[in-house]
Amino acid sequence: MKHSVKVGFSFGVTSGVITTLGLMVGLSAGTHLKPAVIGGVVTIAIADSLSDALGIHVSEEAENKHTTKEVWESTLSTFFCKFAIASSFIIPILFLELDLAILANIVWGLSVLCVFSYSIAKEQGARTWSVVAEHFIIAVIVIIAAHYAGLAIEAFFS
């Protein structure tokens, strides 16, 4: 895989999983409303994907090491990967009860992150399970923090 595409793919997968899981868990805990959670996921899929793509675009330009084509490859791969990953979380919400959908999405998202982390570590010759554990723990911390933030917001406005 070309470096420029790998940059966007790596960022898109990681950000897509962690951002979307955090948002879904927080919105679900705070509202218990399917439409709010779906709206949040759609917003992440569109707005945050575009925002992250622009961030990668500017970052790659700032390095002053890449051709215009490489910068745009990173930009587009970031957008499309993050959009696809974030959008994938909508499916369980549409077909399952919200609490079950959130649980299914946590399993899905952590699985995607772990498989991706494993493949990166293997490619780099790093200790695979320590890389997977590091990324898994960070994602779980985000999920827990978002859950309690949602509960706190719900309590504050109740």
3-state secondary structure of 4: helix
The domain spans of the chain are: 3-157
DSSP assignment of 56-73:
HHHHHHHHT-S-HHHHHH
pLDDT tens-digit readout, 63-103: 999 999 999 999 999 999 999 999 999 999 999 999 999 99
The whole model's pTM is what?
0.94
pLDDT tens-digit readout, 93-106: 999 999 999 999 99
